[in-house]
Structure 1
Amino acid sequence: MNKDRESDRLARLMLLSQQKYGISVQEDWRHESFFRFLQISPSYHLAHQVATGGVQDLANVGHVPRDFLDVVKTYEAFGDVWQTDFWNWWVKRAQYQFGLRCPPRVHRFATLQPGAEANQQSLYEAQACLDQYFSADRLAEGKPGSLVVAVPLHADRATILREVSKLMDEAEHEAGPDADSGQFKFLVNKIRRQTLDEARRVAWARAAAPKQPLYVIGNRVGIAAAYITEEGAKAPKDNRRDLMVIVTSRHLKRALVFSENAARGRFPCSDEVDSIAFDFNKLRSTIIAYRNWIKAELARLKATSNNPLSA
Structure 2
Amino acid sequence: MTDFKRRSTVTQTDDFWASPEQATFAQLCFAYLLISPSYDLARRHRLGLLSNADIAALPADMDVVLGVYDTLGDLKQTSFEQWWPALGIAAFGNEGAKPIVHPIDAIWPTKANLADGLEKRMVGYLDGRFRQQDPQPCLVISVPLSLTKADIADQIKEFIDAVPEGFKSTQRREPVYPLYGQKRDLSGLIRYIKCAMCRADDPSLKLWEIGVIAELSSTYSTRIALGKGTPEDQQSLKMLASRALNRAAMIAENAARGLFPTYDKCEHAITPDWKAMGNVFNDFEGWSSGLEETDD
Q: Indicate the TM-score class for this superposition, using the shorter chain for normalisation.
A: 0.5 to 0.7
**Secondary structure of residue in 1 paired with 2:94:** coil
Matched, 1:48 2:49: no
**Hey, what's the Cα distance between the residues in 2 that align with 1:189 and 1:182?**
15
**Hey, what's the Cα distance between the residues in 2 that align with 1:197 and 1:283?**
20
Matched, 1:283 2:277: yes
**Hey, what's the Cα distance between the residues in 2 that align with 1:246 and 1:63?**
32
**Secondary structure of residue in 1 paired with 2:250:** helix
> How much does 1:198 deviate?
0.5
> How much does 1:211 deviate?
1.0
The answer to whether the Cα contact below 8 Å between 1:63 and 1:276 also exists between their aligned partners in 2 is no
1:189–1:278: structure 2 CA closer, same or farther, 3 Å change rule? Answer: same
Q: Write the mapping of 1:124-273 to structure 2, written as runs, cut at 5 A.
A: 183-228=176-221, 238-273=231-266
The residue type equivalent to 2:58 in the other structure is V
**Secondary structure of residue in 1 paired with 2:231:** coil
Matched, 1:67 2:67: no
1:99 matched residue in structure 2? 93
> How much does 1:187 deviate?
1.4
**Hey, what's the Cα distance between the residues in 2 that align with 1:275 and 1:3?**
27
> How much does 1:241 deviate?
1.0
Bigger relative contact order, structure 1 or 2, given CA contacts below 8 A and separation 6+? 2
User: Runs in 1 of length 4+ with deviation above 3 angstroms?
Assistant: 1-4, 228-231
> How much does 1:26 deviate?
2.2
2:11 matched residue in structure 1? 14
**Hey, what's the Cα distance between the residues in 1 that align with 2:260 and 2:286?**
25
**Hey, what's the Cα distance between the residues in 1 that align with 2:75 and 2:83?**
7
TM-score by length of 2: 0.62
2:84 matched residue in structure 1? 90
The answer to whether the Cα contact below 8 Å between 2:92 and 2:175 also exists between their aligned partners in 1 is no
1:177 matched residue in structure 2? none
Long gaps (5+) in structure 2: 98-133, 136-172, 288-296
Deviations 1:45-74 (A, max 9, x none): 1100111122143x2369532211111110
1:38 matched residue in structure 2? 33
**Hey, what's the Cα distance between the residues in 1 that align with 2:175 and 2:27?**
20
| Identical columns (%) | 25
The residue type equivalent to 2:249 in the other structure is L
Matched, 1:77 2:71: yes
RMSD: 3.1
The answer to whether the Cα contact below 8 Å between 2:192 and 2:244 also exists between their aligned partners in 1 is yes
Deviations 1:8-55 (A, max 9, x none): x13xx013x1xxx23222222111111111111111011001111221
* Structure holding more helix per residue: 1
**Hey, what's the Cα distance between the residues in 1 that align with 2:186 and 2:62?**
27
More displaced 10-residue stretch of structure 1: 86-95 or 194-203 = 86-95
